Chains A and B, each alone.
Chain A
């Protein structure tokens, strides 16, 4: 026991000392007035840090790779051209935050990037659920956020002042689908009255689910089946069987790669033949899907944000894609192109903000200037590689000049070709879709 007592006493004394120091220091820090901490010294080679939050690890890692490529390509272009001119040629430095596809982790990373890394802005975060929490953090810290790749309409319905989304979202996309249907009806003289909806039961899928039905009602189409499914099903026979029995003219699908592949196989197996299948991007435009389904996905339509054949239509794209391909070995796709554009948007705003403030003098004021610059940004279509009319944000932070396109998989070469809007179309749509029997 005596030993125990001695150990106890020593421990006790040490602890008491620690407490004393701790409390004393704490009191000192709190009460004694001090000069404000000096501004962080300007780094030798001036640089401006931008935080990028992506699902770097986890199931969406492959997509994150894609997105990263677009961003890094933009940054290297900007830095090689001399950086941010209005900030004495400061270079852009990307600091990554891994959201691990979890909204709370994304928020934590955003906070870390803002408070520890002192980034001037945040770019990200692909998944709408993560973007929700990250943008919330940014709003409260008063840091501008540019969102190039999340399509949930909810994001620009919250009245945030520091959130800017460059891409169009699922609401206009769904509406566009129906405008396309109307046009198909009149152009091809084929009657379309019934539609069906098949979506995965996630945030994104359910968003499409709701909006397709909303616009179906608005445009006067009858929804004969509306089905949700859980990702990763071993068999979608029952779901497709139900669709088949409902016999819609057109089927709308919101699915990711693996389920999309299973769906196309099941359509053939159960001989499901609507007049058209219209997908909502995601799985259906993924190269893995295209490769795996091959002939099975011919004639399928999909909403896209971007397509390879736009090189003929968007001049800047041809030039940039050649460089991109030379560097990375792959063409731009919807994801890398959107994030590339998002980074450039940020750059243009940085140039404007740099005229008014400097991040190393007053970070808070600079972030505010950046935010104002984004709010007033107007970029013409010629500067972009996307098939948009330009960039201009409304009071909710949504880029109202962004549009989607509709592509169709051609049976001639197994690639997607743009069919809508007609001004930039490179192919006439094939409608109605031949049945499986007719394709033999």
Chain B
């Protein structure tokens, strides 16, 4: 382990950041000269990549669902929330490390996904987009508020992890162990997903369905099963995200909202239906967030991300790697 505690780290950012606040109350205090060191940018990029891997994971789930079933799952973030709560409960009552609960989170969320698909999504697949959108929205309301009823609005978090505060400090950067572990798990999961999609029969069938439903049917692929699988896996990936999130963030009923919005953006950015696009998009958004917080006013970092999202929607709705449109 290379955990440095050099006294020099007090000024690890190169001290070249000059920042004058305005004495006038009404003005925004970011009026001043800003010069940022290369170190700060590197730190932002790396932090962004680490957190972005989590975003990627969640978004790949959404991309899968969207690609195969052509449905926008507004309740996506809430499955993550449920998995998060599950992880917290497992930790509190059975002392299970959140990173180890990942398979459990996946399994439970997968089952939830299949049930949801079977009883809810299936019924609105052939309905007009309005009904589809509102159905998943209704799902969002039900899941979120049931969680509110059960667990209350107070955020829960996992504390006391032995590795929670371990930090590496190579070359003046700061990397926390938890984020690295999370990124690793995300990459591993992505690799597994990739193998599944390209090497197994079912995976290939899924891809076929996402490319052309009719043709897939003609080839003898059971579409109903594909839908169940797609939704289950898609939501299961999000569940993994929830378990990972619980290890360093906090879980509360509304937590899904932000990640849902983020994953929409990422999927659009990466190209509708493209898993690779979601992967790259997630990393990109993570980096974008950190960079814009550093270089522009941190209070606006969300606005910037959403703004870019809107621009992409308007000018390149197929995203970076996307194939089809509607």
List A residues at the B interface (Cβ < 8 Å).
58-62, 197, 201, 210, 213-214, 217, 223-230, 232, 234-235, 237-239, 241-242, 244-247, 257-258, 261-262, 265, 268-271, 273, 288, 291-292, 294, 435, 437, 440
The one of B25, B152, B290, B302 that contacts A235, using a Cβ cutoff of 8 Å: B290
Task: Give every chain B residue within 8 A of A242 (Cβ-Cβ).
Answer: 17, 19, 294, 298
- Among A210, A228, A234, chain B packs the most CB atoms within 10 A around the CB of A234
Contact in complex: A61, B153 (CB < 8 Å): yes
Task: Give every chain B residue within 8 A of A247 (Cβ-Cβ).
Answer: 11, 15
Contact in complex: A230, B302 (CB < 8 Å): yes
- Among B13, B298, B299, chain A packs the most CB atoms within 10 A around the CB of B298
Contact in complex: A225, B165 (CB < 8 Å): no
- Given the complex of chains A and B, what is the CA–CA distance between A234 and B251 in angstroms? 11
CB distance from B300 to the nearest CB of A (A): 9
Contact in complex: A269, B165 (CB < 8 Å): yes
- Given the complex of chains A and B, what is the CA–CA distance between A247 and B25 in angstroms? 22
The one of B5, B13, B252, B254 that contacts A244, using a Cβ cutoff of 8 Å: B13
- Given A234-B51, A242-B17, A269-B174: A201 and B299 interface contact (C-beta under 8 Å): yes
CB distance from B245 to the nearest CB of A (A): 8
- Supplied contacts A59-B254, A214-B25, A271-B12, 12 more A-B pairs, CB within 8 Å: A61-B153, A213-B21, A223-B23, A226-B21, A227-B298, A235-B290, A241-B13, A261-B157, A265-B165, A268-B165, A292-B159, A294-B159
For chain B, residues 270 to 297, give those with C-beta under 8 angstroms from any C-beta of chain A.
289-290, 293-294, 297
Contact in complex: B298, A238 (CB < 8 Å): yes
- Given A62-B153, A201-B299: A235 and B51 interface contact (C-beta under 8 Å): yes
Task: Give every chain B residue within 8 A of A440 (Cβ-Cβ).
Answer: 5
Closest CB pairs A-B (n = 3): A238-B293, A245-B17, A226-B29
- Flag whether B9 is at the interface (Cβ < 8 A): yes
Contact in complex: B12, A244 (CB < 8 Å): yes
- Given A213-B29, A230-B302, A235-B51: A258 and B40 interface contact (C-beta under 8 Å): no
- Flag whether B139 is at the interface (Cβ < 8 A): no
Contact in complex: B250, A245 (CB < 8 Å): no
Contact in complex: A245, B15 (CB < 8 Å): yes
Interface code B283-326, partner A: CB below 8 Å = 1, 0 otherwise? 00000011001100111011000000000000000000000000
- Flag whether B249 is at the interface (Cβ < 8 A): yes
Main secondary structure of the interface of A (DSSP, over half): helix
Contact in complex: B157, A292 (CB < 8 Å): yes
Contact in complex: B47, A235 (CB < 8 Å): yes
- Flag whether B199 is at the interface (Cβ < 8 A): no
Contact in complex: A237, B12 (CB < 8 Å): no
- Given the complex of chains A and B, what is the CA–CA distance between A246 and B36 in angstroms? 11
User: Would you give 6 A-B contacts (Cβ < 8 Å), ordered by A?
Assistant: A223-B23, A226-B29, A228-B298, A234-B51, A242-B294, A271-B9
- Given the complex of chains A and B, what is the CA–CA distance between A210 and B176 in angstroms? 34
CB distance from A244 to the nearest CB of B (A): 6
- Given A227-B298, A246-B19, A261-B157: A241 and B5 interface contact (C-beta under 8 Å): no
Task: Give every chain B residue within 8 A of A288 (Cβ-Cβ).
Answer: 154
CB distance from A211 to the nearest CB of B (A): 8
- Given A241-B43, A245-B40: A437 and B5 interface contact (C-beta under 8 Å): yes
Interface code B14-35, partner A: CB below 8 Å = 1, 0 otherwise? 1111011101010001000000
Contact in complex: A271, B10 (CB < 8 Å): yes
Residue of A nearest to B295 (CB): A238
Task: Give every chain A residue within 8 A of B12 (Cβ-Cβ).
Answer: 244, 270-271
Contact in complex: A232, B258 (CB < 8 Å): yes
Residue of B nearest to A246 (CB): B19
CB distance from B147 to the nearest CB of A (A): 13
- Given the complex of chains A and B, what is the CA–CA distance between A224 and B17 in angstroms? 10
Contact in complex: B23, A238 (CB < 8 Å): no
Contact in complex: B153, A59 (CB < 8 Å): yes
- Given the complex of chains A and B, what is the CA–CA distance between A245 and B40 in angstroms? 9
- Given the complex of chains A and B, what is the CA–CA distance between A364 and B249 in angstroms? 52
CB distance from B216 to the nearest CB of A (A): 38
- Flag whether B103 is at the interface (Cβ < 8 A): no
Task: Give every chain A residue within 8 A of B260 (Cβ-Cβ).
Answer: none
